Structure 1
Amino acid sequence: MKFLDQAKVYIRSGDGGAGSVSFRREKFIEFGGPDGGDGGRGGDVWLEAVNGLNTLIDYRYQQHFKAKTGVHGMGRNMTGAKGADVTLKVPAGTQVFEEDNETLICDLTVVGQRFLLAKGGNGGFGNQHFKTSTNQAPRRANPGLPGEELNVWLRLKLIADAGLVGLPNAGKSTFLAAVTAAKPKIADYPFTTLHPGLGVARIDAREFVIADIPGLIEGAHEGVGIGDRFLGHVERTRVLLHLVSAQEENPGKAYKTVRGELDAYGHGLTDKVEILALCQVDTLDADARKKKVASLKRAAGRAPMLLSAVTGEGVEAVQRALMAVIAEARAQITAPVETRWDK
């Protein structure tokens, strides 16, 4: 499936139906009086987070959404039916911004959450409302009110428990493929991963979701390489797994480069719990391994875990370290509070 994490859409709620001009006509009732019903309310435009989606690709091909107009009022004081609603289905983690792409409207983080983006116009009054002592047969009715229209940006930030960060070719996709059923592209050249990927890992009968994003290089926050636009997909994670390749000449420098980009991006990424691992250690002999570990320890201020997704060395230990942080974070989550959104 193609990946798209940002889309601009035009939405319009339905206009209200017009009120009716009608008079009661029955046998033996000479002056029946007005009985024109009100118009129905226009359809609403809703946003709903649903399961099974992790991209906004559907909104590349359709960008205009309009709810139906309310049905016009009818005689016998019959109110028109409400216009049909339109629901935009998006992945959990989708944010909606105004046309300036900066002002946040809503943030759907849980499957099943709904938000009313545009309310349908009210229906017009039928002529029954305009009867007075001096005008017993009014021949006027109100048109329905117009619906709301606006352009909005949809921006997806994937929901995952753990995020993989590191330089290109650090082994992130290899690790993701080793611990999940995901099948990311793996090759021996930089930027093999061009879009974020998700996988579900399982350890000790417990599961957690891992997000893999394209590698960062120095200057990514200024647009160098793929840039830092995909860092938003690890903003919501509970823990970062920072992978440094054992094939780096200076692992300490590689670590500082990525940390510098995380700091430049902001949004609290450097405040997240970070598990550091030196990966691809199967390519090193004992002496080289010691030197690389020492370099990384000096830069990070702590010893890294050792990992090889190819041989399996350290894979379970890293998974358990991630799961420990995630389990602690999950235990601190309180029950969700009902909001006005889905009333």
Structure 2
Amino acid sequence: MIDYLKKNKQGIYLYGGSLLAFILLIILAVSSLNGSPLDSTINQFDNKTALDLGFATIAWYAIFILTGIVIGATLSYFEFKKVGWDTEKLFDGLLFGVPLSIIGARLYYVIFDPNPHYETFMDVINITNGGLAIHGAVITALVFLIFFTKKKKIDFWVMADMIAIGFLVGQIVGRWGNFMNGEAHGPVIESQFILNILPNFIKTNMTTSTGTIIHPTFFYEGLWNFTGLVFLLITRRFKLFKVGDMIGLYLIWYGLGRGLIIEPLRTDPLYIFGLKANIVLSLSLFAGGGVLLLILKRIIFKDQKYYKEMLVTHEDNPI
């Protein structure tokens, strides 16, 4: 165990530091709460604003989204070095990929919004109160990645595997912006078991004006994604998965969790042809697409290396 800790010292610092920064941000955000955003007296409170500069305000939602992007980008930076790639290419990708993904996330939300209220172009691009859908971001990012990796002459599958980790990190961190906005929740909790195990500060902020506590689906999704993240971070250092497998596994894991667990509980769903869009697309495009990807890869790309074999060095690697 001691030898393992010594060999993976850099990884422990990297992931441990990221986790600590995330926890401290949650503590800071929660300490600013001055009333449940679900309370009927919402006008007395403002849990959405982190900083009021007078001439502009900065929302907690934006801070959590950006923090997720920064942590994901930091992990990708060190992974770029592990495979011997020029890290400048990563920064080029972030420069274009992040804005495009945010645009994709917003357009997805606007297209499938069951209660459209967009009268002007500014209404369409206004994300100050939320209104981003991760499905749109993932789809946009993967399409962008096809062109970007071809232009930069780097392996699409390896890059996609790195992006899978970034997606999970961004989703875990970003969901806490929904918590501060009092959105992305489910119906009233009927299970006493769930009430007993939920942290008090979450129950407080998920309490309605009638005194009932509603399902914090953002929290459930975060736990589901965290489990998937830990699994991928550990297994990618062994000869279990070949390049491109992790993006497929991510799509399957997230698709099943979102389609079968989270979305059925959500009270603010997006719709497509009268059906909950995120259930349909999570199970078909994500989970189904992930399964199809893994199958086709083994038929078309038979001689791919294991992800571990792509690393420049196999010793002293982060988890």
Q: TM-score, normalised by structure 2?
A: 0.23
Q: TM-score, normalised by structure 1?
A: 0.22
Richer in helix (by share): 2
Instruction: Name the larger-Rg structure.
Output: 1
Relative contact order: is structure 1 or structure 2 higher (C-alpha 8 Å, sep ≥ 6)? 2
